[in-house]
Structure 1
Amino acid sequence: MLTSIPHITKTLLLGLFFISWFNFNDPERETKVRVEPESEVVIAGTTNVNNFTCKYNLQELEMPIRLIYDEKSEQILFKNAELTLINDCFDCGGKAINRDFQELLKTERHPQVGLKLLYVEPPSPNQSTVDVGIEIKIAGVSRKYRTLLYCEQTKDICVNGTLELKLSDFELEPPKKMLGMIKVDDEIKVHLTLQLSEI
């Protein structure tokens, strides 16, 4: 059962759908896409005393990204539209906070985060949003969500927006520092600025 998440605007992996949406003639198609260098993925969180940001090094992404999809009557179903983010490639701005972030994500046992596109419901004419299903896996726990995607298409595809998640959804316990006086809030935000191009 997919869960609706309020306030989600655009999602990293979901932007890849628009790249693949060229010439739907065969029931099953394959395409390859590239995430351009000007793209950015940042995880932001807050504590009871300050905030923090952790930027992902997109140069570490395996390129190109290969997509296989089936066109159905009401949904476009994806078979292997999965993006893997290596936890160690997040930089939070210092050794201590990097260590805390890796501890939070249980990196020693689960070294990567997975994002998988499940389906897309094609938009109506002149409509700028589409219903999408996505599966997110963090620290070995997977959750499925249903949301809307907004995407701007010019020569390439530009995806900008924020995905809001709760650490508790993935059975993660926010760390406490300085004898419990500093506490990380349950909600985190993933800010995305992605420039995508078909290969």
Structure 2
Amino acid sequence: MQSQVRKNQLSFKAVILLMTFGLIPIALAAQSFQLSKNEGEVKVTGTSTLHDWEEVAEQRNGSMAIDQSGELPSISSLSFTIEAESLKSGHDGMDKNTYKALSTNKYKEIVFKMGEVKSISPVVSTTNKYKVVASGNLTIAGKTNKVDLPFTLTVHDGKAILEGTKPLKMTDFGIEPPKALLGTIKTGDDIEVHYNTIWK
């Protein structure tokens, strides 16, 4: 009986060792990328009853892990954060209205964290470039919604470029579109986030 127990224990240890060493090549194949803070751009655009507007995110960071050992790259993790009060339009009054709408006194960051990659396919006639749809949680002004994030991914020479556009509605995140001049100027509910980011 004791002999059988020992054999079972040894077999179990052998399986664990095989699993561990079997996972090592996968872990080594995944390459970690950090969002470059001084290159690329993330901006938000929208409309108002007076004119169209845009705000650029000046403070952002993120990380991404990509495994390129297969026929198609595999993104195992992706997250990025924008400092809410780093959104700048070039107009102090508009920025103050934005920060008030985003409740930046309570919620300092806008955060996306990927849960899964829903699809990835190569861009025809282009090497190292892929169309990707990633699903994950986007948190704005303290409210988290699950969103699909579409982008093109280019990976070459230790650098990744992630670019795309994501339409959103402010009210989906409990944000009342900002107003100015006693409500005579109203911001539209629909916005777009444009991202052209460099990862190294």
Asked if Structure 1 and Structure 2 have the same fold, meaning a TM-score greater than 0.5 normalized by the shorter chain, the answer is: yes
By how many angstroms is 1:96 displaced?
A: 0.9
Unpaired stretches in structure 1, ≥5 consecutive residues: 1-22
Check 1:66–1:153 CA distance in 2 against 1; reply closer, same or farther (3 A cut).
closer
Tell me what 2:7 maps to: none
Tell me what 1:39 maps to: 40
Of residues 85, 89, 99, the one that matches 1:88 is 85
Check 1:76–1:160 CA distance in 2 against 1; reply closer, same or farther (3 A cut).
closer
Instruction: Please tell me whether residue 189 in structure 1 is matched to residue 192 in structure 2.
Output: yes
Tell me what 1:163 maps to: 166
Q: Deviations over 1:32-79 (max 9, x none)?
A: 42425221111111101202111111xx445xx455799xxxx9654x
Aligned residues: 165
1:117 is paired with a residue whose SS is strand
Check 1:157–1:144 CA distance in 2 against 1; reply closer, same or farther (3 A cut).
same
The answer to whether the 8 A contact 2:55-2:87 is kept is yes
Mapped partners of 2:175, 2:134: distance in 1 = 25
Check 1:135–1:195 CA distance in 2 against 1; reply closer, same or farther (3 A cut).
same
Q: Which has the higher contact order (CA 8 A, sep 6+)?
A: 1
By how many angstroms is 1:133 displaced?
A: 0.7
Mapped partners of 2:66, 2:153: distance in 1 = 19
2:39 is paired with a residue whose SS is coil
Tell me what 2:51 maps to: 50
Check 1:47–1:66 CA distance in 2 against 1; reply closer, same or farther (3 A cut).
closer
For the aligned residue pairs, the C-alpha RMSD in angstroms reads 3.0
Mapped partners of 1:147, 1:67: distance in 2 = 14
After TM superposition, the score normalised by the length of structure 2 is 0.69
After TM superposition, the score normalised by the length of structure 1 is 0.70
Q: Which has the higher helix share?
A: 2
The 5 A counterparts of 1:1-199 are 25-26=26-27, 31-35=32-36, 37-57=38-58, 60-62=59-61, 65-66=62-63, 78=77, 81-121=78-118, 123=120, 128-155=130-157, 156-197=159-200
Structure number, greater radius of gyration: 2
Unpaired stretches in structure 2, ≥5 consecutive residues: 1-23, 68-73, 125-129
Q: Percent identity?
A: 23
Tell me what 1:9 maps to: none
By how many angstroms is 1:192 displaced?
A: 1.2
Tell me what 2:3 maps to: none
